[in-house]
Chain A
Amino acid sequence: MSKKHISTVINGDAMEFLASPEQSLLDILRDELELTGSKEGCGTGDCGACSIMLDGRLVCSCLVLGVEADGKNIDTIEGMGNGSDMHPLQKKFLEHAALQCGICTPGILIAAKALLEKKPDPTEEEVRYWLAGNLCRCTGYDKIVRAVLDTAADMRAA
């Protein structure tokens, strides 16, 4: 089947690619654009490791087709912050040791950021339900939840 030409803005930069109709956006990001920060844990929408923002909406990029991204704005972990200018969540995750292996971390950071943008003052329960689509097998979630709550508190104070 022939590929379609897709134009998007990814992490603020205009980017174009060719997508075959069945290719997921996650595959495009990882295999075609070499943005491997988004991870594939399941490919079926159950683990959240591939979480990205699509036009400001939190989605599992494994469930979105590459062709659906045409004309849209995509934010991935690669655009969240860098070593010299980290997002407060990234800093707090390090401080709280909220990652062990780190494979779930990009997806969880993207999801947590989306939560704090929507709800700067979440309760523990709200954080837990919001992140219920992001599996972490290493940490037991404790330090992740604490890092998110602590970031929220800091950002409100700032």
Chain B
Amino acid sequence: MNDMTQTNLQKDLKIVGTRPLRPDGADKVTGRALFGADKSLPNMLVGRVLRSPHAHAKIISIDTKAAEALPGVKAVITSKDFQDLPSEFVPAGEMMVNFKDMTRNIMAREKVLYEGHTVAAVAAINDAIAEEAMALIKVEYELLPHVMDVEEAEKPNAPLLHDDMITIGVEPAPKKPSNVAKRVEFGFGDLDKGFKEADLIIEKKFSTQPVHQGYIEPHACLASVSEDGQGELWVTTQGPFVVRNFCSKILGMSTSQIRVTASEIGGGFGGKTVIYLEPLALALSRKACRPVKMVMSRQEVLMASGPTSGAKIWVKIGVKKDGRITAGDAVLKFQAGAFQGSPIGPGAMCAFAPYEMTNVRVVGYDIVVNRPKVAAYRAPGGPISEYAVESVMDEIAQKLNLDPLELRLKNAAKEGTQAPYGPKLGPIGMIETLEAAKAHPHYSAPLGPNQGRGVASGFWFNIGGETCTSININEDGTVGLTLGTPDIGGSRASMAMMAAEELGVPMSTIRPIIGDTSSLGFNFLTGGSRVTFSSGMAVVESVREIIVELRKRAAQLWDVSIEKVEWVSGHARLVGSENPKSLSLRELAEAAGKTGGPIVGGASINATGAGPSLATHIVDVEVDPETGRTTVLRYTAIQDAGKAIHPSYVEGQMQGGAVQGIGWALNEEYVYDDNGKLLNPGFLDYRVPVCSDVPMIDTVIVEVPNPKHPYGVRGVGETPIVPPLAAVSNAVSRATNIRFNELPLSPPRVLAAIESR
């Protein structure tokens, strides 16, 4: 447990809240920063993956002899090179992981379950030979019928992906296997009574498409297993410790045998919290006794790495004439991909979370289909369920002739509100973001013809978790700070800022680095908006510990008790003395050898007390009635950050999330043919927003401090992708006077609706 009761919420802050340059910036603008694919080792091989051309098939046999015989090929692996693992849920960081599924996802065993599923991997002296070798691997398949859609997959006669899958969460447990992995339900109150009290009830079905995280850097790693079986892995990941633990389990190696170093990471958004190439590269390296580098192509990224779930959603909301919600009911069906584990739990918990509900129910289903296994994507589950609820809220506002922000204000959750998933909420900023939206000039700006304005709010929990850091005072008084959470968007800056603030020294004297897995204890991954919160807490705690040590050293030098020494602005000071004595950090550091040895510290916590972050977004669009094309004209994102340590990077999170959400709302979707083959595995046709698609993204940071963090931090990365789906859809609906309930709102879909109006 961490006691962070000594907070700095009220204190005058010198560094926290300013906008210094990031410590890793110069390397990144000069091309020196090393990402996943940027490192090489002597005598290195190239690893490539042979993938299934089928959406669903039994593997009858794999013959690798010809490939192995090809000169230049050094190793070929298939599922035979991996031990099978039983179906059991094992805690991995904060997740429960079923390694039976994981080992089958990284290398198919009995069956291939989606196009792109790995069936073999090759290490060769160069790419051309690896390519040739893959063509020589003979795989005999027996094709099976496939299923891509959740509503098809849950039918009793649907093709079964796993013939032992019994739905979890249903009592009594079903006797027969199905594609429904899990059912969840949340809620309280009396729905019938609530809907009876309503003056207006709106009930609607929605659908969203799976979308990819779209990080620009494909998955990449460089593995080297030494002759004595010690593994080294350089990899682009959000969680080096998690990768280490997953790989050691899958490869049957001990944890200490694998050292993982996180490269600079070229975007993740949740997609780099799992493993794909890593165990393959290690296995190939172990077999070939040489380093192996593996890099996915963009096509492989889109075909075989995690999108988030596509979904079918049903929502029913009842309200009084004045807009007060009397009841809310929803059913969510999420695609899990080929293995169970969609974000159905959090998705269902979030659905009505921005509101104070008295009668509420959300039922969710996790359903397997012949698509790549989903991975986390920013606020996993939240954007999908909240899109549907926020769309219905907008329709209610229109029908009741109420301002959509007023409608939300009337129902807004606040401190003490019982969340639909049970517990009472602590202080949250829903009302504050709504008020800020109302007051923003954007909200009252005039609109032209074919234009519409949409608003929507969003909720995300944020998380804490296992975290540790270490800190060294160097001999010249500068500070080394080692962190275990990869820096994906400026966290080295915010950590150095908090350390500098606490220690009372300039930020430039702090050097934050990301440690490898042998330099620190376990750290849960960078994700869930937890880094500034949890690593920040650990940093603050380690600095406070170091300050105690520094005071002790000064007390020794002055021959007084430690209570007589205070720490002020980077100096030890003798309390209440006439002739004020003081020692700088540098002076204490220089004397360290004589006063007891190096001054080092660290903290190890399992951070709790993360505070939900709420957001409200406003967007103006113009819809071309001739083509159905939607242009985003103006966008304002308002969010409660708790406290913005480095406001520029908080704004950046808000802007980036908003634009990802715009892509989800307007363009991004996978197109599969009848055989379950992906037709658009490239950035040309899987269209993420480009610079000319979007306007400036205006931001307003609201700060309702999280009382559980020393600086009030909530975490900001997840929430900004929640509101845009509904905000954009509401804007398009208002611009066209047609209520839309399917994403993406691509020009053909919008045009068809306009034409049949």
A and B touch in the complex (CB under 8 A): yes
Name A's B-contacting residues (CB within 8 A): 20, 30-31, 34-44, 46-47, 49, 76-78, 80-83, 86, 90, 93-97, 99-106, 109, 124-125, 127-129, 131-146
Q: Which residues of A contact B297 (CB under 8 A)?
A: 43
**Would A100 and B683 count as touching, CB distance under 8 A?**
no
**Would A142 and B35 count as touching, CB distance under 8 A?**
no
Q: How far is the CB of A128 from chain B (nearest CB, A)?
A: 4
**Would B217 and A141 count as touching, CB distance under 8 A?**
no
**Would A101 and B489 count as touching, CB distance under 8 A?**
yes
CA distance A128 to B693 in the complex (A): 8
Selected contact of A49 from candidates B216, B646, B660, B690, CB within 8 Å: B216
Q: Which residues of A contact B696 (CB under 8 A)?
A: 124, 142, 145-146
Selected contact of A39 from candidates B216, B490, B648, CB within 8 Å: B216
CA distance A117 to B19 in the complex (A): 29
**Would A93 and B31 count as touching, CB distance under 8 A?**
no
Question: Which of chain A's residues has its CB closest to B720's CB?
Answer: A140
Q: Which residues of A contact B38 (CB under 8 A)?
A: 30, 36
Q: How far is the CB of A25 from chain B (nearest CB, A)?
A: 15
**Would A138 and B30 count as touching, CB distance under 8 A?**
no
For the A-B complex, the count of residue pairs with Cβ-Cβ distances under 8 Å equals 186
CA distance A127 to B692 in the complex (A): 8
B285-321 CB contacts (< 8 Å) to partner A: 295, 297-298
Selected contact of A143 from candidates B646, B655, B689, CB within 8 Å: B655
Q: How far is the CB of B527 from chain A (nearest CB, A)?
A: 14
Question: Which of chain A's residues has its CB closest to B699's CB?
Answer: A142
Known: A46-B682, A46-B683, A102-B33. Is A97-B652 also a contact (CB below 8 A)?
yes
Interface status of B62 (Cβ within 8 A of chain A): no
**Would A104 and B216 count as touching, CB distance under 8 A?**
yes
The B contact surface, by secondary structure, is loop
Q: How far is the CB of B266 from chain A (nearest CB, A)?
A: 3
B128-150 CB contacts (< 8 Å) to partner A: 128
Q: How far is the CB of A7 from chain B (nearest CB, A)?
A: 23
Q: Which residues of A contact B217 (CB under 8 A)?
A: 39, 41, 101, 103
**Would A137 and B28 count as touching, CB distance under 8 A?**
no
CA distance A52 to B348 in the complex (A): 46
Q: How far is the CB of B650 from chain A (nearest CB, A)?
A: 10
**Would B29 and A36 count as touching, CB distance under 8 A?**
no
CA distance A103 to B216 in the complex (A): 7
Q: Which residues of B contact A35 (CB under 8 A)?
A: 31
Chain B, interface residues (CB within 8 Å), range: 35 or more
CA distance A128 to B631 in the complex (A): 14
Interface status of B697 (Cβ within 8 A of chain A): yes
CA distance A96 to B109 in the complex (A): 49
**Would B694 and A109 count as touching, CB distance under 8 A?**
no
Question: Which of chain B's residues has its CB closest to A84's CB?
Answer: B26
B234-258 CB contacts (< 8 Å) to partner A: none
**Would B265 and A97 count as touching, CB distance under 8 A?**
no
**Would B682 and A44 count as touching, CB distance under 8 A?**
yes
B647-667 CB contacts (< 8 Å) to partner A: 648-649, 651-653, 655-660
B185-217 CB contacts (< 8 Å) to partner A: 213-217
Q: Which residues of B contact A125 (CB under 8 A)?
A: 692
**Would A78 and B30 count as touching, CB distance under 8 A?**
yes
Q: Which residues of A contact B215 (CB under 8 A)?
A: 101, 103, 137
Q: Which residues of B contact A82 (CB under 8 A)?
A: 30
Q: Which residues of B contact A127 (CB under 8 A)?
A: 691
CA distance A93 to B298 in the complex (A): 27
Selected contact of B649 from candidates A81, A97, A129, CB within 8 Å: A97
Interface status of B269 (Cβ within 8 A of chain A): yes
Question: Which of chain B's residues has its CB closest to A130's CB?
Answer: B691
**Would A44 and B683 count as touching, CB distance under 8 A?**
yes
Instruction: Please list the 10 inter-chain residue pairs (A to B) with the smallest Cβ-Cβ separation, ordered nearest first.
Output: A37-B31, A103-B266, A140-B659, A77-B31, A102-B28, A140-B655, A97-B648, A100-B489, A46-B683, A36-B38
